[in-house]
Amino acid sequence: MANLVRRFGGSPLARREAISFYLLILPWLIGFLVFLAYPMLRSLYLSFTSYNLLSLPQWVGLQNYQRIFADADFWQSLKVTLLYALGSVPGGTIIALALAMVLSQKLRGVNIWRTIFFMPSILSSIAVAILWLYIFRPEGGLLNILLGWLGIKGPDWLLSEQWALPALILMSWWSVGGQIVIYLAGLKGIPEVLYEAAEIDGAGDLAKFRFVTLPMLSPTIFFNVVLAIIGALQVFDVGWVLTRGGPNNATLFYMINLYRRAFEFTQMGYASALAWILFVIIMGITLLVIRSSTLWVFYESEVR
C-alpha cells in the first residue's frame, strides 16, 4: 500500500486521502475476493476433478468436459434453455415496449396501471410459480376456462410434453414490469422537439415510432435485451417448482440439470464443469449481441 500511497504525492493530505480511499473500498474488496473471486477459481479447479463432497477432490483433467459433451441430458438441457430464451426474450421485449408506450401516455389513472404491471416483477418467483400452477391446471384452471369460453379445449399445459415449455415461456411474459420501468425512463428521455420536427415533415404515428422512438430508444432496448438473455439462460426456479424438468425432460433447463448433478448425485466436479460451460455460452452470446449493436443501436452523440 505504501507504493500506492506514494503515487498520490507526498503531502500529508494526499496520503490521508489515499489511505481513506483504500480503507473505504476494503470491505467491498474483501467481499469480492471471498464471495466471488475465490468461489469462481475454486469451481474452475473442481471442474477438472472428481469430487463428491465426501472425499478429497481427485484430479481427472478434461474427463468431466469429455463426459459432458457425450451426455444426452446436457444437450437436452441446452436445447430447452435456448428454446426458452428464443421465446421469452423477443416476446417479453415486444410486450414490455408496447405496454411502456401505452403507459407513457397521459391517461387517467396511469400511475395505478403502472403499479399493476410492475407488481409481478417484485413478487417472489416461487409465489408467482405457485400462482401460475393454478392458472395452468388442466381441469378448472383459469386459462383453460377462458379458452373454453371461446370454444377451444385447452391442453394439459404443464403435464404435456408439447405444451410445458410454451407454458413457461408464456409465464415469463407476465413478469416484464422491470423492463417496462426502464423503457418508460427511456421514453421520457426522448426530446419532444424530435417529434415536433417529424410532424412538420408530415410523419404519422407509425413513422414517428419507426424513425424517432426506436432509434432513440435503441440503447435502452439493447440494455434490456442483454439482461433478459442472461436471465433466460440461467432460469431455474420456475422450472423446478412447476415441472422439475418434466414431463420427459421437456423443461429440463440447464440450471436444473446442473442442480441435479451437484446436489442429487453429488457430482460437484461435473457440475462445476457444467457451470463453466454455461459461463462461456453466456459470454459468447452476450459478445455477439454487443458486436451486433453497431448495426442497430443509435447513440445521440454519434455522428452518422
Of the pLDDT bands very low, low, confident and very high (cuts 50, 70, 90), residue 29 is very high
pTM value is 0.89
Evaluate if residue 177 carries a pLDDT over 80: yes
- DSSP type of residue 37: I
Question: What is the percent of the chain where pLDDT is above 90?
Answer: 72
Evaluate if residue 171 carries a pLDDT over 70: yes
| CB-facing half-sphere around the CA of 215: CA atoms within 13 A | 14
66-100 confidence digits (pLDDT tens): 999 999 999 999 999 999 999 999 999 999 999 99
Neighbouring CB atoms inside 10 A of 278's CB total 19
Evaluate if residue 7 carries a pLDDT over 60: no
Dig out the grid coordinates for 174 from the structure.
Answer: 407476465
In this prediction, residue 125 carries a pLDDT of: 85
CATH hierarchy code of domain 65-296: 1.10.3720.10
237-259 confidence digits (pLDDT tens): 999 999 999 889 999 999 999 99
Radius of gyration of the chain (CA): 25
User: Would you list the domain boundaries of the chain?
Assistant: 2-39, 65-296
In this prediction, residue 303 carries a pLDDT of: 46
Q: Find out whether 98 and 176 touch, Cβ atoms under 8 Å.
A: no
In this prediction, residue 11 carries a pLDDT of: 79
Q: Find out whether 123 and 171 touch, Cβ atoms under 8 Å.
A: no
Evaluate if residue 300 carries a pLDDT over 90: no
**If you average pLDDT over every residue of the chain, what do you get?**
91
Of the pLDDT bands very low, low, confident and very high (cuts 50, 70, 90), residue 124 is confident
Evaluate if residue 2 carries a pLDDT over 70: no
In this prediction, residue 10 carries a pLDDT of: 61
In this prediction, residue 120 carries a pLDDT of: 86
d(CA 153, CA 286): 40
